[in-house]
Amino acid sequence: MVNNYFPKNLKYFRNKRHIDQQVMADNLGISRSTLSSYENGVRNPNLDMVYKIAKYLKIYDDCITKDLTIDDVPLTQQELIFNEFKDYLTENDWNIINTIAVQRKNEIDKEKKDE
């Protein structure tokens, strides 16, 4: 079974970005108590809501399967560059990055399938 770090990561990133629980809930179109239940692991959001949360917090990585609250994990050169400039990216930039990443993943998946 996969560890579900989503509740812990959700609360961690919301607090790290100094976002009030009510403000975030309002932006996501849910109640504060629903957001609280996600953070406490009482309820699990559906995949659409996980996407909305990840997009709102700008955490496009393994927000469910990794403990992202551990800051002492060394970052790759690409991660360091990305982290340095991520706050300057527009919504359009994020869409372009996502498109490139999906295209590259599809290419790799096709290569593996053809082997």
Cα–Cα–Cα angle for 98, 1, 47, rounded to 5 degrees: 35
Cα–Cα–Cα angle for 91, 107, 5, rounded to 5 degrees: 55
Over residues 69-88, the pLDDT tens digits come to 776 667 778 877 887 888 88
Q: What is the mean pLDDT of residues 88-113?
A: 88
CB atoms under 10 Å from CB of 12, counted, come to: 19
pTM for this entry: 0.54
Q: How far apart are the two ends of the chain, measured CA to CA in Å?
A: 30
